[in-house]
């Protein structure tokens, strides 16, 4: 497997992109390419197979969208993009449409929970790019409504996540329908052995580009940990929501938990929506779009959203429940600190979960300290039973946040993580409550 070498500061105009694409990039105000874009695009536009390893939030989508569009215009071949979740597929489709709109680009979005007949119509219109999830693609292949013989560029995005979700057999079946003579681009946050196997079996001498090692937390995310009894989590969340002014993403371990947390947040006076697999696709779309647009200040989600939300201005991620797998900690906190902004991540660790904290430490190779619990507000008693999709008392726009009642930036958390060496930090664990 060949390796690409890092390059210095670069402009989009230096990446080998066609003038028409550069004009679109300029119009969309994409200014400086991210490291993964700088490394991947010049290789991908030549038609070579590529493996891109980059943490979440680093601009991977544009790193394959731009080369795929350029190759499609040159070769007149079709592009195929396979992703693990509906949310990711929707966002990738949105990016393709945004960039390809002026070229008359036709896309077909093939995901579960959406109308099969509408998808059949989109596929019949001879799209330039097909974007979808493995299960629904198999459905269309079985019905004969999806034909992949014209595919010249294949993208496997979030490949490690697809394998984690058990999609390996479906991916293998789909690849049997794709011509062997093609360009394959594989993007992943991590590089487990199963990815190496896929590369060996389905790629031709791929060039590997990597911008962050596995387990790297986004450089501009400040992390803070509290050991807090389960019954006090809502009170701590209440305090955080009063201290941070911007958009907040709260992670719950379960769908049932997400509903309960959303109900509690609503009782605190904040506009809130839920995102989990119990919701229909239209409701999930409404939650995500409402959160992106500022209709909802808080989004309570299960791990379905850890690698499926592309919102650049999330100020705070709260791990209300510590994830079972430490890898998911990295993906969750990667939802903040995007597009060069400072982000904040706060995690609630119950007294019996200190082992999970150690697992996260081992993965991210940083010694973590736990902050003492602040003085907490009293428990809220009243809980309005309004729908998660109704307007609530606090309509806070992401673009116009209300003033902070207490500016946390003047009192930074005791632990900050970034691209610096924290190896000499001491571990501090405080017994709380």
pLDDT tens digits along 54-79: 876 678 899 999 999 999 999 999 99
Tell me, yes or no, whether 424 lies in a domain. Answer: no
* Same structural domain, 137 and 263: no
Give residue 343's pLDDT: 87
Tell me, yes or no, whether 432 lies in a domain. Answer: no
Local confidence band at 429 (pLDDT 50, 70, 90 cut-offs): very low
The DSSP code sequence of 41-93 is HHHHTTT--EEEE--TTS-HHHHHHHHHHHHHHHH-PEEEEE-SSHHHHHHHH
* Same structural domain, 107 and 182: yes
Give residue 134's pLDDT: 96
Give residue 410's pLDDT: 37
Judged against a pLDDT cut of 60, whether residue 391 lies above it is answered with: no
Give residue 199's pLDDT: 87
Give residue 307's pLDDT: 60
> 297 vs 275, 283, 305, 388, CA distance in Å?
13, 16, 16, 12
Start-to-end C-alpha separation, the chain = 53
Domain count, the chain: 2
Tell me, yes or no, whether 423 lies in a domain. Answer: no
The domain of 189 spans: 2-210
The token pair at 255 is: 């769908």
* Same structural domain, 201 and 245: no
* Same structural domain, 263 and 123: no
Find which of 58-62, 80-84, 219-223, 310-314 is predicted with most confidence, using mean pLDDT: 80-84
Task: List, for residues 144-194, the tens digit of each pLDDT value.
Answer: 999 999 999 999 998 988 988 889 999 999 999 999 999 999 998 878 888
> Of 203-217, 303-317, 409-423, which gets the smallest average pLDDT?
409-423
Tell me, yes or no, whether 355 lies in a domain. Answer: yes
Taking residues 322-339, what's their average pLDDT? Answer: 82
Q: Which of 186, 210, 234 is the last residue of a domain?
A: 210
- Phi and psi dihedrals of 431, rounded to 5? -75, 125
pTM as predicted: 0.63
Residue predicted with more confidence, 368 or 55: 368
Strands (E), 298-376: 298-301, 314-319, 343-349, 370-371
Give residue 339's pLDDT: 65
Cα distance between residue 39 and residue 392, in whole Å: 44
Give residue 305's pLDDT: 61
* Same structural domain, 290 and 372: yes
Judged against a pLDDT cut of 70, whether residue 326 lies above it is answered with: yes
Cα distance between residue 36 and residue 212, in whole Å: 9
* Same structural domain, 259 and 185: no
CATH number, domain of 351, equals 3.40.50.300
Residue with the two structure tokens 């919102």? 311
- Provide CB contacts within 8 A for 413, sequence distance 6+: 222, 223, 224, 344, 346, 371
Local confidence band at 213 (pLDDT 50, 70, 90 cut-offs): low
Residue predicted with more confidence, 416 or 121: 121
Cα distance between residue 335 and residue 299, in whole Å: 12
- Provide CB contacts within 8 A for 87, sequence distance 6+: 275, 284, 288, 304, 305, 308, 309
Judged against a pLDDT cut of 70, whether residue 41 lies above it is answered with: yes
* Same structural domain, 356 and 406: yes
**CB-CB contact of 105 with 129 (8 Å):** yes
Judged against a pLDDT cut of 50, whether residue 135 lies above it is answered with: yes
Local confidence band at 1 (pLDDT 50, 70, 90 cut-offs): low
Judged against a pLDDT cut of 60, whether residue 15 lies above it is answered with: yes
Residue predicted with more confidence, 159 or 414: 159
* Same structural domain, 226 and 203: no
Q: What is the DSSP letter of 317?
A: E
Judged against a pLDDT cut of 80, whether residue 268 lies above it is answered with: yes
* Same structural domain, 364 and 229: yes
Tell me, yes or no, whether 20 lies in a domain. Answer: yes
Residue 223 is inside which H or E element, if any? strand 221-227
> Of 99-103, 220-224, 368-372, 420-424, which gets the smallest average pLDDT?
420-424
Local confidence band at 404 (pLDDT 50, 70, 90 cut-offs): very low
- Provide CB contacts within 8 A for 12, sequence distance 6+: 22, 25, 30, 32, 33, 37
* Same structural domain, 43 and 185: yes
* Same structural domain, 390 and 309: yes
Q: Which of 164, 189, 210 is the last residue of a domain?
A: 210
Tell me, yes or no, whether 431 lies in a domain. Answer: no
* Same structural domain, 204 and 225: no
If you average pLDDT over every residue of the chain, what do you get?
A: 82
Give residue 325's pLDDT: 82
Cα distance between residue 369 and residue 61, in whole Å: 34
The token pair at 347 is: 């995690």
Judged against a pLDDT cut of 70, whether residue 104 lies above it is answered with: yes
Cα distance between residue 173 and residue 114, in whole Å: 22
């Amino acid at each position: 497997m060949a390796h690409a070498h890092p390059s210095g500061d670069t402009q989009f105009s230096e990446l080998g992109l066609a003038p028409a694409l550069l004009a679109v990039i300029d119009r969309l105000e994409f200014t400086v390419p991210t490291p993964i874009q700088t490394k991947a695009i010049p290789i991908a536009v030549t038609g070579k197979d590529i493996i891109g390893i980059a943490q979440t939030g680093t601009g991977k989508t544009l790193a394959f969208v731009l080369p795929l569009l350029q190759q499609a215009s040159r070769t007149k071949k079709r592009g195929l993009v396979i992703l693990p979740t509906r949310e990711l597929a929707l966002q990738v489709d949105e990016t393709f449409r945004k960039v390809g709109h002026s070229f008359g680009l036709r896309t077909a979005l093939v995901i579960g929970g959406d109308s099969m007949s509408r998808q059949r119509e989109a596929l019949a219109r001879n799209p330039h790019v097909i974007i979808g999830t493995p299960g629904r693609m198999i459905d269309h292949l079985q019905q004969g409504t999806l034909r992949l013989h014209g595919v010249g560029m294949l993208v496997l995005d979030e490949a490690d996540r697809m394998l984690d979700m058990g999609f390996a057999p479906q991916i293998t079946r789909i690849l049997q329908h794709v011509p062997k003579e093609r360009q394959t681009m594989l993007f992943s946050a991590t590089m487990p052995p199963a990815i190496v196997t896929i590369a060996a079996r389905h790629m031709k001498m791929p060039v590997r580009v990597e911008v962050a090692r596995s387990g790297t937390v986004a450089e501009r995310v400040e992390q803070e940990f509290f050991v807090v009894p389960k019954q006090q989590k809502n009170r701590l969340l209440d305090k955080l929501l009063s201290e941070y002014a911007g958009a907040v993403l709260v992670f719950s371990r379960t769908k049932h938990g997400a509903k309960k947390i959303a109900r509690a947040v609503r009782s605190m006076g904040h506009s809130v929506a839920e995102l989990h697999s119990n919701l229909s696709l239209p409701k999930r779309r409404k939650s995500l779009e409402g959160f992106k647009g500022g209709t909802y200040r808080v989004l309570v989600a299960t791990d379905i959203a850890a690698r499926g939300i592309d919102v650049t201005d999330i100020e705070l991620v709260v791990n209300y429940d510590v994830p079972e797998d430490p890898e998911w900690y990295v993906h969750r906190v990667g939802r903040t600190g995007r597009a060069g902004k400072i982000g904040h991540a706060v995690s609630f660790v119950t007294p019996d979960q200190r082992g999970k904290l150690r697992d996260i430490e081992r993965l991210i190779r940083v010694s973590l300290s736990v902050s003492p619990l602040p003085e907490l507000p009293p428990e809220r008693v009243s809980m309005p039973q309004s729908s998660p999709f109704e307007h609530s008392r606090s309509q806070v726009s992401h673009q116009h946040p209300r003033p902070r009642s207490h500016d946390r930036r003047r009192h930074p958390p005791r632990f900050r993580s970034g691209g610096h060496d924290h190896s000499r930090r001491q571990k501090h664990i405080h017994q709380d409550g």
